[in-house]
Every structure is written in structure tokens, then in C-alpha cells.
């Protein structure tokens, strides 16, 4: 499949819709109690295995699969090392953001009189991780476009 072809776009849209609908159903079922299968326990109403899975476990598994696939492609087919540095930095930033969010957020919130919590730093580190993923993508692609060499695009 070529990038941007109808088949590749339909694949991306289809899988995205499947994930959106399934996650939406799990969240709605948990919140509204549509069925008894995903209802939180009365002893701990804030804990829901379904919501925990779709918001924490599924993204973690998706990130690990993405990382393994990208490492395989870069090492086996491209024989390049610089993209691996970008990918490693992205994983470090993401892991640090999650560690701050779940490990230090409460203490950070209490020590700053509830002015700032771990979500702020997690968002900054997640943004840095996405910037590293962009750097990774830029390092594995070759720009063979001559669009900016034309006269009308001279700066």
C-alpha cells in the first residue's frame, strides 16, 4: 500500500473507528451501567478494569508494538542508527512523563498548594516525545522534492 492511497486511508479510518467505537462503548457502559459486565464494584466505585485497560494498558501495548516495529524496520532495512536515538529519546520522554504523572503527581500537587500537578509536566514531556517521534520520522524519510528550489519560493 502506498501512503495516501485509498486502500491505506480506508485501513487507517476503519481501524480508528473500531477503536473509537469500542472505547466509547466501554466508557459509556462503565459510566452509565448499560450492562452488568463492566460496572465498577460497589466497594470501590472509582476502580474499573475496563476503563483501566482502554486508557492505560491498550496505549502501552500499542506504543511497545510501534517501537518494536520501528526498530525492526530501521535496523533491518535502513541500517541507520540516528533514527534509533530519536526513538529512544521519545520513549524516555514518554516514560518520564508517565512516571511523573502517576508517581509524583499527588506529592507535587500537595507541595505547591494545588497550583500544579504531574499532568503539567507529563504534558510537556509527552509533547517532547511527540517532537522526538517527528525527528525520528524526519530521519528515516528522504526529501526528494524540489518544490522550494523554484524561483517563486526563494526567500
pLDDT at 14 over 80: yes
pLDDT per residue as tens digits for the range 27-44: 888 888 788 777 777 777
Determine the pLDDT at residue 99. Answer: 92
| Neighbour tally for 92: CB within 10 Å | 14
Angle at the Cα of 15 from the Cα atoms of 9 and 21, rounded to 5 degrees: 130
Average confidence (pLDDT) over 106-131:
90
Mean pLDDT of all residues belonging to the chain:
85
Determine the pLDDT at residue 130. Answer: 95
pLDDT at 84 over 80: yes
Read off the pLDDT band of 48 (50, 70, 90). confident
pLDDT per residue as tens digits for the range 131-155: 999 999 998 887 655 555 555 555 5
Which helix (DSSP H) or strand (DSSP E) does residue 109 occupy? Answer: helix 105-111
From the CA atom positions of the chain, what is the Rg in Å?
21
| Neighbour tally for 104: CB within 10 Å | 15
Nearest CA-CA partner of 52 in 102, 12, 96: 102
What CA–CA distance (Å, rounded) separates 108 from 101?
10
- Which set of grid coordinates corresponds to residue 81? 542508527
pLDDT at 1 over 70: no
Amino acid at each position: 500500500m502506498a501512503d495516501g492511497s485509498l486502500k491505506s486511508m480506508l485501513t487507517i479510518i476503519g481501524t480508528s473507528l473500531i477503536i473509537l467505537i469500542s472505547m466509547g462503548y466501554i466508557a459509556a457502559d462503565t459510566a452509565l451501567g448499560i450492562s452488568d459486565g463492566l460496572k465498577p464494584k460497589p466497594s470501590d466505585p472509582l476502580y474499573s478494569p475496563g476503563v483501566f485497560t482502554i486508557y492505560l494498558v491498550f496505549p502501552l501495548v500499542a506504543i511497545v508494538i510501534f517501537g518494536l516495529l520501528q526498530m525492526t524496520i530501521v535496523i533491518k532495512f535502513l541500517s541507520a542508527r540516528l533514527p534509533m536515538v530519536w526513538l529512544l529519546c521519545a520513549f524516555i520522554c514518554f516514560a518520564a512523563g508517565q512516571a511523573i504523572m502517576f508517581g509524583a503527581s499527588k506529592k507535587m500537587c500537595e507541595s505547591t498548594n494545588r497550583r500544579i500537578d504531574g499532568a503539567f509536566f507529563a504534558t510537556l514531556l509527552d509533547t517532547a516525545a511527540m517532537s522526538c517521534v517527528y525527528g525520528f520520522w524526519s530521519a528515516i524519510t528522504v526529501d526528494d522534492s524540489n518544490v522550494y528550489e523554484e524561483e517563486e519560493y526563494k526567500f
